[in-house]
Amino acid sequence: MSAARKRPVTPDATAPAPPPADLAPFRALVLERGRELYRDLPWRRTRDPYAIWISEVMLQQTQTTRVDGRWQRWLERFPTADALAAASPADVLDEWQGLGYNRRALALHRAAQAVSEAGGGLPSDARALQALPGVGPATAAGIRAFAFNLHSVYLETNVRAVLLHELYPEADGVPDRELVPLVEATCPTDASDPADDPRTWYYALLDYGAYLKRTVPNPSRRSSSHARQSRFEGSHRQKRAELVRVLLAHRGEGVDVLSACAELSAEEQAAGRRPLSAADVQALLAELAAEGFCRPMNGLWYV
């Protein structure tokens, strides 16, 4: 059985092609592979919208193996949106360390405060979810599908890999505007069949996509939206992350610019890079402060 559509696509295509007339063979294939490749991940054992939201954010650009364990620990420390909202930004950043992209932790904290103020429960409506800080279309769709078992358009990297592998095997530069109608058309609208509801469908796509990435050249690279992740070590982002760790190490007592510079420079030199100047660190602190990571007070900086 082949679900492939072999029409070549160019990166500058101006109009989305119509979906294949019959997507039933594709759906049958994905559901079959999903049953074979199912991963019993801990966040699949709950329907708690808050817990699923945390897993969706943690899994963004982060390997599943790194999230397993950290997700459970997060829920022990912040078991509800109300608990997360009541925590200090320093506590939230401290628990997030090692997961990358600290902005996501602050966005989670701000979103939890909004959810708590509204009564403590996450909405199921896509627009209401996307109104929360840090919640984009994919995260909102994941929450809708996995927590509420609702029809959604969940286009993320593993889903994209399956669509490109099966439906565009010879195409390069396929734009998401061609894929979105396929995602929408294939997601079940009826949640009454547990063997083929939105949760089951997207688990199948995710697991088949993860398998493809391990066994064939990553199909997602043939998407026009694919971008190679920039190098972290030695980057501006790495220095920001290290400075956040320095601030967390001095939480409560604060740290002056020269001390922060000495600690950060020691880390840089240990990695074979040049030390930073006080002006470099001052600029980084000002950048972090503008984003809500830290604040100055009486010549010291506090997270």
Residues 6+ apart with CB under 8 A from 25: 1, 2, 3
For residues 263-287, give the mean pLDDT.
Answer: 95
Summarised one tens digit per residue, pLDDT across range 152-185 is: 999 999 999 999 999 998 888 899 999 999 999 9
Q: Which residues pair with 190 in a beta bridge?
A: none
Summarised one tens digit per residue, pLDDT across range 103-153 is: 999 999 999 999 999 999 999 999 999 999 999 999 999 999 999 999 999
Q: Are 183 and 154 in contact (CB under 8 A)?
A: yes
Band (pLDDT 50/70/90 cuts) for residue 24 is very high
Name the class of domain 236-302. mainly alpha
Output the average pLDDT for the chain: 91
Domains 48-148 and 236-302 share a fold: no
**What superfamily would CATH give domain 48-148?**
Hypothetical protein; domain 2 (1.10.340.30)
User: What are the sequence ranges of the domains in the chain?
Assistant: 48-148, 236-302
Summarised one tens digit per residue, pLDDT across range 211-246 is: 999 999 889 888 877 756 667 778 899 999 999 999
Catalytic residue among 32, 36, 56, 76: 56
- 117 is annotated as an active-site residue: no
Instruction: Give me the DSSP letters along 205-218.
Output: HHHHHHHHHHHSS-
Summarised one tens digit per residue, pLDDT across range 189-219 is: 999 999 999 999 999 999 999 999 999 988 9
